[in-house]
Amino acid sequence: MSADRREFLLQTGKLLVLTASAAAAWDYVVAAQPEKAPGYDANTHWWAMVIDIEKCIGCGLCVQACKKENGVSLDPSYFRTWVERYEVDPDDPEHPIVTSPNGGYDGFPESTLADKPGVKTFFVPKLCNHCADSPCVQVCPVGATFRTQDGVVLVDKEYCLGCRYCVQACPYGCRYIDPTTNTVDKCTLCYHRITKGLQTACVEICPTGARYLGDLKNPNDPIHEYLRTHKVQVLKPQMATHSKTYYNGLDGAVR
């Protein structure tokens, strides 16, 4: 790892708010080997995220927690996770109004359609879908984007060229170029946390339990019952990416 990259990560790490157990894994994150954190066996996990749209209130706390935990720029152009508000007018259901001011970081102002009868309003959190068949992994010319043994799509910034091929290939718009490093950045499912048995920052902060990180390889994980008893869907199923971000209550208007 280059000295400049190591120094950047070390300086960024000083800004993060980590618990003691998560901090123990930080050296492995800096070395781009988080899967080697003590006591963690990547072969025994297969991570997935469930988002319950019916529970999301658009408070923006998940966006704030993500930026603080992962050192994401506060500039309104950069997000690892963000929230969109959909407003479906019964007079024009084919053209929903979609807004996401500052990615939902500060919540949402009152809707201009709030008083119109029949308008359907709901919030949709978005993040990397950590696809099992990721287009971003397939197009990366140097292997900087890769999928771990436990199903998390990560970026090794030491090898990333900043070519933007993966940014263009992602059908969900979940990647961006980090303005500090000029390399790709995206949601990592807080890999430095989950490898230590912790929840992601967005899941931990959510006041309504709208997000849930589950382990599909763990037969006792509640995610299995949830997927059986709810009508979950994925974004853009026609892309056949085998997304592992599942949505409950996903409206057909969502793009």
Lowest mean pLDDT among 25-39, 102-116, 142-156, 179-193: 25-39
Distance CA 138, CA 252 (A): 28
Distance CA 251, CA 244 (A): 18
**pLDDT at residue 194, rounded to an integer:** 96
DSSP 120-159: EEEEEEEE----TT-HHHHH-SSS-EEE-TTS-EEE-TTT
Mean pLDDT for the stretch of residues 166-187: 97
User: Residue 176 — φ and ψ, nearest 5°?
Assistant: -150, 165
In the chain, the domains with their CATH numbers are 3-248 (3.30.70.20)
Is residue 190 very low, low, confident or very high in pLDDT (cuts 50, 70, 90)? Answer: very high
27-47 confidence digits (pLDDT tens): 665 555 655 666 789 999 999
Which residue type, as a one-letter code, is found at position 123?
F
pLDDT higher than threshold 50 for residue 10: no
Is residue 138 very low, low, confident or very high in pLDDT (cuts 50, 70, 90)? Answer: very high
Comparing C-alpha atoms, which of 129, 128, 126 is closest to residue 84? 126
Give yes or no for a contact between 199 and 193, defined as CB atoms under 8 angstroms apart: yes
Q: What is the mean pLDDT of the chain?
A: 89
**pLDDT at residue 189, rounded to an integer:** 98
pTM of the model: 0.83
SS (H, E, C) 61-120: HHHHHHHHHHCCCCCCCCCCEEEEEEEECCCCCCCCEEECHHHHCCCCCCCCCCCCCCCE
Q: Which two tokens stand for residue 183?
A: 């390399």
152-161 confidence digits (pLDDT tens): 999 999 999 9
Kind plus residue range of the DSSP H or E element containing 5: helix 3-13
Mean pLDDT for the stretch of residues 1-5: 48
More confident residue, 198 or 22: 198
Beta strands in the chain (DSSP E): 47-52, 81-88, 97-99, 120-127, 145-147, 153-155, 176-177, 184-185, 211-215, 232-233, 245-248
**pLDDT at residue 6, rounded to an integer:** 46
227-247 confidence digits (pLDDT tens): 999 999 999 999 999 999 999
**pLDDT at residue 62, rounded to an integer:** 98
Which residue type, as a one-letter code, is found at position 59?
C
